[in-house]
Amino acid sequence: MEAIQEVAQILRENADKTVFVLSGAGLSAESGIPTFRGNRDGLWNKYNPQRLATFEAFEENPLLVWKWYLWRMHLIAKAEPHDAHRALVKLENLLKDFWHITQNVDGLHRRAGQKRFLELHGNIWEGKCRYCETRFGEKEFSQLFPLADREFLRNLSEEEFKEKILQGLTEEKLPRCPTCGGIVGPGVVWFGEPLPSEVLEKAYEIAQRSAVCLSVGTSAVVYPAAYLPELCKKKGGILIEVNPQETPLTALADYSFRESAAKVLPQIVQELEKLLR
């Protein structure tokens, strides 16, 4: 417990400085969303996300890629933020200049009430035409592609999902771009695609000036996101990791909790609240 108290003390001492969290799929694991590199859920264990989350895979088989994304959107639509998401919202309100920089595309941090966040890898509820660069916001995209509507998916049972999407979806039903006629893909950043430059620039700027970085639920193997904690450390920041497994950041970390986010984050915030009273 003393490590939790020491971390809470560090956050109190830096409460008026910049503090950021870099989160990954592990933050959403306890909301029931499978991680990328963990033991993949049955349905997709024969496919590698690193292969599917690419423009090449989309060009080769847009139907398969869209079925994979709709499967994830179906899970996300039914998922709820959990205690760790809520702890990060509290942290935002307790600290002067807090940022939640996430690799996740599920938007659970928004649903928890996070205001100060950056989405490095986009948002699964939006659309992107990769042929003419047209972007579609969540509302607009669900009109273009009703099967991708969040409420529709939230109310869809497993059986209906299998029947309407896994079996029923055909290439003709995939969303077409009104501007160029190309098939519209999900509004996320695929492997081999650049991150949105304004978001990445802002993330670097935050990491460089941060006194503390908490790396939560990320295997820290995907770049340039994984570079952010290293950058903070390099500039003299304090690095705290929360992950049941070791990662390439563990050796660099000042504290590394081999535990789940839902357990550790609320404890840290609870201790910090006591100190700030």
Binding site for ligand BV8 (CB under 6 A): 24-26, 29-30, 35-38, 50, 53, 103-105, 121, 188-194, 217-219, 221-223, 242-245, 247, 260-261
The rounded distance, in Å, linking the Cα atoms of 180 and 189 is 20
The rounded distance, in Å, linking the Cα atoms of 249 and 239 is 9
Closest separation in Å from C-beta 177 to Zn ion? 3
Across the beta sheet with 135-136, what order do the strands follow? 135-136, 122-128, 185-188
Binding of residue 214 to Zn ion (CB under 5 A): no
List residues with catalytic annotation: 121
Closest separation in Å from C-beta 258 to ligand BV8? 10
Q: Which does 62 bind (CB under 5 to 8 A by kind): Zn ion, ligand BV8, none?
A: none
Quick note: the x/- pattern for Zn ion over 84-123, rule CB under 5 A, is ----------------------------------------
Q: Burial, 252: exposed, middle or buried (Cβ in 10 Å; 0-12, 13-18, 19+)?
A: middle
Q: Which of residues 35-64 bind Zn ion (CB under 5 A)?
A: none
Q: Beta partners for 100?
A: 21, 117
Backbone phi and psi for residue 200, each to the nearest 5 degrees, phi listed first: -65, -40
The rounded distance, in Å, linking the Cα atoms of 176 and 184 is 6
What size, in residues, is the chain?
277
Q: Which of residues 119-138 bind Zn ion (CB under 5 A)?
A: 129, 131-132, 134
The residue with tokens 């460089």 is: 208
Q: Which is nearer to ligand BV8, 64 or 276 (CB)?
A: 64
The rounded distance, in Å, linking the Cα atoms of 52 and 50 is 6
The residue with tokens 């599920």 is: 106
Q: Which of 52, 22, 26 is nearest to 37 (CA)?
A: 26
Q: Which is nearer to ligand BV8, 157 or 245 (CB)?
A: 245
Q: Which is nearer to ligand BV8, 26 or 229 (CB)?
A: 26
Q: Which of 218, 221, 273 is nearest to 20 (CA)?
A: 218
Closest separation in Å from C-beta 195 to ligand BV8? 6
Query: What number of other Cβ atoms are within 10 A of residue 171's Cβ?
Result: 10
Which single residue brings its beta carbon nearest to ligand BV8?
Answer: 26
Q: Which does 244 bind (CB under 5 to 8 A by kind): ligand BV8, Zn ion, none?
A: ligand BV8
Q: Which is nearer to ligand BV8, 10 or 222 (CB)?
A: 222
Q: Which does 260 bind (CB under 5 to 8 A by kind): ligand BV8, Zn ion, none?
A: ligand BV8
Quick note: the x/- pattern for Zn ion over 170-189, rule CB under 5 A, is -------x-xx-x-------
* CB 109, CB 161: distance < 8 Å: no
In the complex, which residues of this chain contact Zn ion (CB under 5 A)? 129, 131-132, 134, 177, 179-180, 182
